[in-house]
Structure 1
Amino acid sequence: MAPHLAAPQRGPVTAPPPGHDKSQALSPALILGVLGVVYGDIGTSPLYALRAALLHFTDGGLERWEILGILSLIIWALILTVTVKYVVFILRADNRGEGGILALMALAQRGIESERARWAVALIGITGACLFFGDGIITPAISVLSAVEGLKIVSPHFEEAVIPIAVVILLALFLVQFRGTGSMGAVFGPVCACWFLALAVLGVIEIVHNPEVLLALSPHYAVQFCLTYRLVAFIAFGSVVLAVTGAEALYADMGHFGRRPIRWAWLWLVLPSLALNYLGQGALLLREAEALENPFFLLAPDWFRLPLVFLATAATIIASQAMISGAYTIARQCVQLGFIPRLEVRHTSETEEGQIYMPQINMMLLIGVVILVMAFHTSDNLAAAYGIAVTGTFVCTSLLAIIVFRRQFGWAWPFAIGVFGPLLVLDLLFFVSNVLKIPQGGYVPLVLGAGLFAMMTTWHRGRELLFARFRQDGLPLRSFIARLPHSRTLRVPGTAVFMTSQADFLPGALLHNLKHNKVLHERVLFVTVTNEPIPFVAPERRRQVEELAPDIHRVSLLYGFQESPNIPKELESLREVGIPFEPMQTSYFLGRETVVAAAVPKMSQWRQWLFTIMSRNAVPATEFFRIPSDRVVELGVRVAI
């Protein structure tokens, strides 16, 4: 049987109490790190959000109250969706200090006994993860393209060069990913600090010229705007939400910085800078309606526009880098939780576990981003595709938060629904308004998400059927051990490691080895890798060893969904418990399954085809588990499901 990740265990998990915080003491370096990693995406929204929202109302010219109404909607979206929902509440729900949609899903599943309820929670988490990948493709495209479009404001002669320059920047960004983010991270924070400072200063200068725009801080204008325009205002919600894209990063990156620095940076630096810049753009439009051509770059004086284009491009590259790194993290979590096949994971840092590079994910993102830039041409067109993925993730997060705060924090159902219900309604309004943009490009993240959803559910179901078939056809390990003293099997020198996902059953690779070679090594290790629905497993819980017979041991290795297995390293540590392990005298026996259709198939034909394709393209176990390829013996087996 091929080694693979067993299903997450449902037993009790020792975890710190809800709200556990591993945040560090605030320091300038930490705040700079938060600015560079967490807020790159939402920090570049002023490049396109206000303009995209106001384009719905350009017929007949922009009215004063329309500008104030849209501004008020944007400001209060930042307050309600980001500040109240994420900063105040969601950041409290950490899974061993880690955040993100899959961490929240695992937290919501904790303590749920019903298999149907666990699967329903898993579907919400899978949906959110699929939509996150859709967001991961669109973010680099729209961010870089909107920054480079500033060249058209500097000089109309640059118009034809916008797309080639954007494509070159994106190609360079993806092609240097294999080097890791460590060397680039040192400049991320300072660049983003300069970016937010520029946002605030440009906004304040224009607000001083037209302080009337501060009226938009009152929710009265947002309510009046919605009551007056109704359906058109609802359609505009699809563009207003562009101002809060990247909010999920606050939660997803909590494991890197802790909640306190993220909250402090948002409340005292990021939110004021964003609000001032949006108000500054509004003040400019109140004075010169024709500035709608590109209100962000027109805020700057002529001499500063070209430097601002370079600064904006750097900021969007950082925003894209954060989303790319997040896609790697989510992909590894999906592998560890058993939702997608094994993928190659390269560690780009010797000290930071979280700095990884996944070539397959990187190539898929690059192809998708370049296609989007070439197909949509402008950031305005891409804005139509942007939003569904983001708002869909918002909805999934709110649904999971209701469950987590009820079960983990002990909130009463009326209180949990009373807090998150209105926020969920707002998320649904944003989502449905973006559904209206499907014909203009909103189909992109939906098609991508639907394809990923089909792949994840097919892989998960296929592995479940394989596990069931192995248990049905397998020989109990205890029975084999009991018969072993009476057999005449020849024992040969060395250590044999048999990888198995079913700890209580004899690996198929061992049966085939005995059948063909008629020998058994003098030392035998049955190794099972199990993933738990927590980010990291404590070192003292990593390894469990049980002696089944003299020189025959069962080794259970536990990993969290943020960790990458390293089997040889863990087996070398067996010397600490008195088990001799010599790497050069060890052979790893792996099984390679060939899936065939059973007489009565348990999956539809298209799912069987998809599962087979995914199985064939999974990264070999030798790479995923970091097993030396020259020490491996593979034995094939046909499995009918």
Structure 2
Amino acid sequence: MLGAIGVVYGDIGTSVLYSVKEVFGSGHVPFTPDNVHGILSIFFWTLTVIVSLKYVTLVLRADNHGEGGLVAMLALASQTVKHQPRLRKWLLLVGIFGTCLFYGDGVITPAITVLGAVEGLEVISPTFKKYVVPLTLVILLLLFMVQKRGSASIGRFFGPIMVAWFAAISALGVLNIADNPGILRAISPHYALAFILEQPGITFIILGAVVLCVTGAEALYADMGHFGRRPIRVTWFTIVMPALTLNYFGQGALLLKHPEAVKNPFFMMAPDWALVPMVLLATMAAVIASQALISGAFSVTKQVIQLGYLPRLRVLHTSALETGQIYLPFINWSLFAMIVLAVGMFKSSSALASAYGIAVTTDMLITTVLTFFVIRNAWRLPLALSLGATAFFFAVDFAFWASNLLKLFDGGWFPLVIASAIFILMKTWKDGRRLMRDVLTSDALALPDFLAAVFVSPPVRVEGTAVFLTAEPGTVPNALLHNLKHNKVLHAQNLFVTVRNHEVPWVEEERRIEMLALGHDCWQVVIHYGFMNDPDVPRALSLLRGRGCEVEPMTTSYFLSRDTVIPTVGKGMAPWREKLFAQMHHNASGAADFLHLPNNAVVELGSKIEI
């Protein structure tokens, strides 16, 4: 529970910094007791319906072998419709676009949370306003610089700090509610319904700001594999939701008494003596919220690479105990560059709030759609129940999504541009790999027939084991052809290894490896991994011990084909996409590092492939 508080709830826990300010600061809602009660009721029931009912009660049940998150949900949903290729294709496209939106969210969230916290300095003194953006950028730079140390060492104190944060925001809420206890009547849903029925137009407009109170709800599901379903549920109902509710209602009580506090109701709730400590605590909480998304970006990228939608990137493991704790330098500094651009363009949390929401609500819609296929096809619940459960949440999500479209030209385009660019990269990589595979398959020789021909007049056999990596089992690797052509030798043992990635989080070691004897001390080997597994070919091959094939590390060489992609005019992709794919392929991290091959035992042989 302490870990869940420190990691899972950082984002949604800091939404109190800006949510109420954006709703009432918009100028659309006059300060009347009925309006304040109505807005607070909408906040409370938004938290209840979207977080408590949808995510905590329903979506957390949709675990993929204990793992959560949009990639896990996508894999689970696509598996349930694998006999319907057209539907499966569309589900994959929608799910991958949702994953791309996560990166847009990963840019906006650190920017808006840290900016929102540092803006507390303006409440202390207006003279600090000119320092807000530079200080925000310094804090973010420090945060991204320490990522290489690993999330374990960074997050050691996250839990206690977030407990202090929730205690502090609860205390501020209680302090202001004490001046107007009647504000608690807004828990009743009739205040929300009355506001919606009396002012439907204004309600639709402000939903784009109300949704800020549930930003981070996806993290509950995404981090389920780290903490488990029960700690996340218990923590939400016993600590997080009560603290958020008290603080939101406290801000409402403050606004009824002092409408001028709308410029920053969160910090103006605090007594003068507590302002500086609250700014510091809010900044730490904002950094924690940012950290959760940065770590999530690393994990999601690794999963997407395993699913074949991105080229291999350099992955550094920051823990000897936890394989999930990783650091990707390219993703780290790309995120930082985009965040600097966002802070420089928007300059305030209020301006960034216009950019926020579209990515979040689109992801919520996609999660609801994928959930339908899971509960209908995987859980086999009746169609009427499946439709009823998801249609209700879809209608709620759609209302928030449609409202956020109003902000499209005020900044909502920003995360969509980021997501669209990443989607083009992912789709281009996936299609380019398919074209490469088609070319290699069409030109490939059948491995059993080739070996039979080779051993009619066998070449010189040398001591040791040769491991040839090949994309398709049963075909002759280019590296073998080049080795025979140039070196005119064959090793005493030869393994033709194919690495297969599956749409499941984990493949257990007992199902890791398949082996087929080809004769003449040659074997076809297929190694299976899930998208959460860490590919390690030498470790996998050690599982062959005792099965008639001993792979000794000191006498084993790994032969790889280093392919150069040549774009051509033809039936493939558009010329610009083929050139983009060729560049991505050229810049991809080497297979040796990605598969954990020993650097001093790798032989790369080049070849050209026209697509």
TM-score class, shorter-chain normalisation, is over 0.9
Structure-2 residue corresponding to 1:83: 52
Partner residue of 2:74?
105
Counterpart of 2:281 (choices 307, 311, 326) is 311
Single out whichever of 401-410 and 624-633 deviates more from structure 2: 624-633
Show the counterpart of 1:374: 344
Answering whether residue 348 of structure 2 is matched by residue 348 of structure 1, we say no
Q: Which of 137, 141, 146 is the aligned partner of 1:171?
A: 141
Q: Give the 3-state SS of the residue equivalent to 1:523 in structure 2.
A: strand
1:188 aligns with 2:158: yes
Partner of 2:475, secondary structure, is coil
| d(CA) in 1 for partners of 2:155, 2:256 | 39
Could you say which residue in structure 2 is the equivalent of 1:222? 192
2:310 is equivalent to residue 357 of structure 1: no
Structural mapping, 1:401-480, within 5 Å: 401-480=371-450
Q: Distance in 2 between matches of 1:174 and 1:600?
A: 43
Unaligned runs of 5+ in 1: 1-30
Question: Structure 1: which amino acid aligns with 2:425?
Answer: M
Q: Which amino acid aligns with 1:175?
A: M
**Aligned residue number for residue 41 of structure 2:** 72
Quote the residue 2:128 is aligned against.
Answer: 158
Counterpart CA distance in 2 for 1:394 and 1:487 is 63
- Picking from 132, 135, 139, the partner of 2:102 is 132
Q: Is structure 2 residue 596 aligned with structure 1 residue 626? A: yes
Amino acid at match of 1:531: N
- Aligned position for 1:331: 301
TM-score w.r.t. length of structure 1: 0.93
Secondary structure of the residue that 2:529 maps to in structure 1?
Answer: strand
Deviates more, 1:115-124 or 1:308-317: 115-124
Contact 1:498–1:509 (CA<8 Å) still a contact in 2? yes
Q: Structure 2 unaligned segments of length 5 or more: list them.
A: none
Q: Distance in 2 between matches of 1:323 and 1:147?
A: 17
SS in 1 for 2:491: strand
Aligned counterparts, 1:224-303, within 5 A: 224-303=194-273
What secondary structure does 1:577 align onto? coil
SS at 2:497 equivalent: strand
Question: Is 1:115 equivalent to 2:80 in the alignment?
Answer: no
Partner SS, residue 593 of structure 1:
strand
1:94 aligns with one of 63, 80, 85: 63
Shift of 1:223: 2.2
Greater Cα offset, 312-321 or 476-485: 476-485
Decide whether aligned partners of structure 1 residues 58 and 414 sit closer, same or farther in structure 2, where only a CA change above 3 A counts: closer
Partners of 2:525 and 2:458 in 1: CA distance: 25
Q: 1:450-497 CA distances to partner (integer Å, 9 max, x unpaired)?
A: 111111111111111211221111001121232232023222222211
Output the CA distance in 2 between the equivalents of 1:523 and 1:552. 6
1:5-33 Cα deviation digits (max 9, x unpaired): xxxxxxxxxxxxxxxxxxxxxxxxxx111
* Alpha-carbon contact 1:127-1:396 (below 8 Å) kept: no
Indicate if the aligned counterparts of 1:71 and 1:282 stay in contact, CA closer than 8 A.
yes
Contact 2:28 2:202 in 1 (8 A): no
- Are the equivalent residues in 2 in contact too, given 1:34–1:257 (CA < 8 A)? yes
Report matched runs for 1:135-146 at 5 Å.
135-146=105-116
Matches within 5 A, 1:541-552: 541-552=511-522
Supply the distance in 2 between the matched residues of 1:299 and 1:488 (Cα, whole angstroms).
84
Whether the 8 Å CA contact 1:124–1:400 is kept in 2: the answer is no
Q: Distance in 1 between matches of 2:32 and 2:606?
A: 72
SS at match of 1:595: strand
Task: Decide which of 4, 7, 22 is 1:52's aligned counterpart.
Answer: 22
AA of the residue aligned to 1:627: L
Deviation (angstroms), 1:587: 1.8
Deviations 1:399-428 (A, max 9, x none): 000000001111122211101101111111
Q: Distance in 2 between matches of 1:578 and 1:509?
A: 24
Q: Which residue of 2 aligns with 1:4?
A: none
Q: CA deviation digits over 1:368-407, x for unaligned, max 9?
A: 1111112111100000111111111101100000000001
Aligned 8 A contact 2:25 2:263 in 1? no
Cα distance, 1:265 vs structure 2: 0.4
Q: CA deviation at 1:65?
A: 2.1
CA drift of 1:583 comes to 2.2
SS for the counterpart of 2:309 is coil
Partner AA of 2:480 in structure 1 = L
* Percent identical: 49
| Cα distance between partner residues in 1 of 2:508 and 2:545 | 19
Instruction: State the match for 1:197 in structure 2.
Output: 167
Distance 2:155 2:567 in 1: 49
Closer/same/farther in 2, CA of residues 217 and 598 from structure 1, 3 Å limit: same
Matched to 2:469, the amino acid is M
Give 2:585's aligned residue: 615
Cα distance in 1 for partners of 2:577, 2:173 equals 54
What residue is the counterpart of 1:507 in the other structure?
477
2:465 and 2:492 in contact (8 A); partners too: yes
- Number of equivalenced pairs: 610
Q: Distance in 1 between the 2:37 and 2:446 partners?
A: 72
CA distance in 1, matches of 2:224, 2:399: 27
Superposed displacement of residue 242, structure 1: 0.3
Q: Normalization by structure 2: what TM-score? A: 0.98
CA, structure 1 residues 281+465, in 2 after alignment: closer, same or farther (shift >3 Å)? same
Q: Please give the residue correspondences for 1:588-607 in structure 2 after superposition, counting only pairs within 5 Å.
A: 588-598=558-568, 600-607=570-577
- Contact kept in structure 2, 1:130 and 1:449, CA below 8 Å: yes
1:62 corresponding residue in structure 2: 31
CA contact (8 A) 2:474 2:524 kept: no
**Separation of aligned partners in 2, 1:52 and 1:599:** 52
Higher relative contact order, chain-length normalized (CA < 8 Å, sep 6+) = 1
| Structure 2: distance between partners of 1:259 and 1:188 | 20
Q: C-alpha displacement at 1:598, in angstroms?
A: 4.4
